[in-house]
Structure 1
Amino acid sequence: MRAQNAGRRRRKPSAGGRQHGHPPHGTHPAARHDRRGLPRPAGGLRLANITGIRAIQLHGHEERGHFAALGDGEWTLIRATSYREPVPRNGQMGEDILLLDAPTPGAGVPWDWTRRSFRPPGGRWLLAGGLTPDNVSHAVDITRPWGVDVSSGIESVRGVKDSALIRAFVKAARAAS
């Protein structure tokens, strides 16, 4: 079972980026945006090449062209989308992995993966949305994802990750049958 931490925040934000002319909150000047405010594929390519990252996760309503432009790299493409009927399928946009989030993503609210109509997206996919150390094992047993994604479910206070909760989450995810 793979676990992905969707957000990393230090207890005290670093001023280092601002001292070097970079805006706060993980943004970088190399990421240029299109007229809708979405990063252009070229910005993602520059960031991937500069940082040596191994995966690029796209959120929102990117067009197939975004995935095609990024698809020639040596990284894994992850498409994050919300649960809806019919369930999105892995690979529809050219992604390697589909991240299936709650109908209201980012709210930290568990969604009903036990519903009769739920059909796993197929292929490599990550379950996300309201997962915690208390419910991740059950969620994995029910949905059988390739991996899980967590953010607020391992925070002691909004925005602050808790190492004990991280350990408990990983232990519970791995314990799923």
Structure 2
Amino acid sequence: MFVKICGITNEADALMAVAMGADALGFVFAPSSRRVGPDDVRDIVRHVPDEVLTVGVFRDESAQRIVELVTSTGLGGVQLHGRESPGEATWIKARVPFVVQAFAAGDPRLERVDDYDVDAVLLDAAVPGSGTTFDWSLVGDLPRRRRVLLAGGLDPENVAEAIRAVDPWGVDVSSGVERGPGLKDVRRVRRFIAEARAAGDGPGTEPSVDPPGIFDEASPT
């Protein structure tokens, strides 16, 4: 089970999440209480181990600007949270090792999800970062066709239930492991990761897509 801790705002939280076993860290460049600047991201990323994926989160930013920021900060991937077209996602994917396209559950664009040549599809609540869940039945059979990264109101208390209901490739959390906006709580991070791994990687279970596959020839190493 791939676990991404998003909304990282400082080096201490980044290294704590890594120590707790996170596979990926997310840095928000879009307007948000957790927004961080390029200089801060660059300073944090340089201390993150190479095996941990670092992801910039963008919303309706130009494709050229996204690639510029990824290059200048040393990020390993991007998460697109806007109204990006399949063509824009493909253009970015040709220049960035790992790309996630986010959709709100029930978004009509999901009917064209296979047009998006990206590494994973993130499903979120209608208002990203709101800390609210959505009807997990809306995911349908998508996890059997694509790598699905499940987000939207996840926390240590409900992540195992969500994994059993959806069978995603991975999970993404931000506010659910915080003691305040942008400030992670070590106990909640530890418990979230433990609950996710127990539910997704426990005896008798198999992830829909093997998580180590993100580090193949077309992904960051």
Structures share fold, TM-score greater than 0.5: yes
- Does the 8 Å CA contact 1:11/1:160 hold for their aligned counterparts? no
Q: Report the Cα distance in structure 2 between the residues aligned to 1:76 and 1:146, rounded to whole angstroms.
A: 15
The amino acid that maps onto 1:54 is G
C-alpha distance 100-120 of structure 1, shift in aligned 2 (>3 A)? farther
C-alpha distance 75-160 of structure 1, shift in aligned 2 (>3 A)? same
Match of 1:119 in 2: 140
Shift of 1:28: 4.0
TM-score (norm. length: structure 1): 0.77
Aligned length: 157
Per the alignment, in what secondary structure is the counterpart of residue 88 of structure 1?
A: helix
- Does the 8 Å CA contact 1:87/1:119 hold for their aligned counterparts? no
C-alpha distance 39-87 of structure 1, shift in aligned 2 (>3 A)? closer
Match of 1:43 in 2: 65
Please, what is the CA RMSD of the aligned residues?
2.6
Shift of 1:95: 1.6
Runs of 4+ in 1 over 3 A off after TM superposition: none
Residue correspondence of structure 1 range 18-167 to structure 2 within 5 A? 25-28=35-38, 38-84=60-106, 88=110, 90-113=113-136, 115=137, 118-121=139-142, 122-167=145-190
Per the alignment, in what secondary structure is the counterpart of residue 110 of structure 2?
A: coil
Q: Report the Cα distance in structure 1 between the residues aligned to 2:74 and 2:11, rounded to whole angstroms.
A: 25
> Once structures 1 and 2 are overlaid, which stretch shifts more, 145-154 or 99-108?
99-108
- Does the 8 Å CA contact 1:71/1:94 hold for their aligned counterparts? yes
Give 1 or 2: higher helix fraction: 2
- Does the 8 Å CA contact 1:87/1:118 hold for their aligned counterparts? no
Q: Report the Cα distance in structure 1 between the residues aligned to 2:110 and 2:177, rounded to whole angstroms.
A: 26
Q: Report the Cα distance in structure 1 between the residues aligned to 2:129 and 2:96, rounded to whole angstroms.
A: 28
Match of 1:168 in 2: 191
Shift of 1:125: 1.1
Per the alignment, in what secondary structure is the counterpart of residue 109 of structure 1?
A: coil
Q: Report the Cα distance in structure 1 between the residues aligned to 2:74 and 2:158, rounded to whole angstroms.
A: 34
Larger Rg: 1
Per the alignment, in what secondary structure is the counterpart of residue 115 of structure 2?
A: coil
Shift of 1:156: 1.5
Once the two structures are superposed, residues 26-57 of structure 1 have per-residue CA deviations (whole angstroms, 9 ceiling, x without a partner) of 2449xxxxxxx932211112222223322111
Q: Report the Cα distance in structure 1 between the residues aligned to 2:90 and 2:135, rounded to whole angstroms.
A: 32
Once the two structures are superposed, residues 128-173 of structure 1 have per-residue CA deviations (whole angstroms, 9 ceiling, x without a partner) of 0010101101110110000000000001223321111000000000
> What is the percentage of aligned positions where both structures have the same residue?
34
